[in-house]
A = this chain, B = another copy of it.
Amino acid sequence: MITIKEIASQLGMSTTTVSNVIHGKTREVSPATIERVQKFLKEVDYVPNINARNLALQRSKMVGVVLKAPEDKYVSALADPFVSVMLSSIEKTLRGAGYYMMVYISDDIAEILKNIASWNVDGLILFYMLDDDASRVSAKFSKPIVCIDAYYQEDIGDFYVVGLDDENAAYHATRYLIENGHTRIGYLCDGNEITSVNYQRFHGYRRALKDAGLEYSDRCLFLVRPEKEELLKSLGKICDKAGNVTAVFCMSDLYAKMLICALTDRGIRVPDDVSVIGFDDNLYAQLSRPGLTTVHQDVEKRGTVATQTLLNIIAGNPPAERRIEMKSELVIRDTVCRAN
């Protein structure tokens, strides 16, 4: 790794001149010198030391992508298709703009904050933060923040959100089930409580029930545990309670697929005995047979929008609204049939 200093010394000139040529500040350098330097640079294959540059410039050309996720999930954070597609799109956009992506995963906000500060990243993309988490981060981190899947509440912090029309999506999916004659409709999600995105979707689900004059019952709320050792077990328990409902609306394609497998393996037919709707419409939903009826969202685009929004804020052009909302769409395939 040759340094500017070394180059300057070998060429018998000052580091300033070399640096100027490297950065194209050529209006103050003689053509002959430019020529000489550029030739030499090619020759020795000069590459700048990013750490030194970051130190000098007080910025990093790095964007931190932070996933708040527990360690022991059945499907680890990065392996989740929603996350991986999003990440892929973020990385692509970032790279196209000359930025680097630093991924950090933790369940501990304090630890996350420490790392962010350490690396001096220029901006942050946050996944899966609850409102409170995002606020805590934004209180400590004064640079631009964009959240995926968080609900911005007035005065709660300085960050932007690129979200989905979750409430509406759930409303329409549920209504579709109701239109097909279902009256006892399950809602399946993970965790112990209904937060953030789930809250919105759950709300949409309940609104649809209410609008149709149906009563919500706790017996229709299916909570699965996402942990490695628990997920399958808790899905099994849900299968035992499948008689409570004729249809289930799941918060992800993965859970929908897993539920279908669990039901099928127990001799409960989908959709004949139980109808199922998923969420996301990822590649594997598209490849499953019978085709999964699900809510489609364009994750790739959402990643691009989120990243572009962040880059814009960094560049000093924040969007007008705190929250940007992408549209989803119900995709009707073969896992919902008329209730008997």
Contacts and interface: CB of A to CB of B under 8 A. Distances in A.
A120 B77 contact: no
Interface in A94-109: 95, 100-106
Contacts of A48: 118
Contacts of A289: 260-261, 264, 289
A88 interface: yes
Contacts of A84: 78-81, 83-84
Given A95-B105, A114-B47, A120-B51, A81 B78 contact: no
| Interface of A, helix, strand, loop or mixed by DSSP | helix
A50 interface: yes
A117 B44 CA distance: 13
A120 B85 CA distance: 28
Given A49-B120, A261-B289, A88 B79 contact: yes
A60 interface: yes
A1 B102 CA distance: 20
Contacts of A261: 287, 289
A87 interface: yes
A328 to B, nearest CB: 19
Contact of A283 (B60, B75, B91, B92): B75
A52 interface: yes
Closest 8 CB pairs of A and B: A78-B88, A84-B84, A47-B117, A76-B88, A51-B54, A284-B284, A51-B55, A79-B85
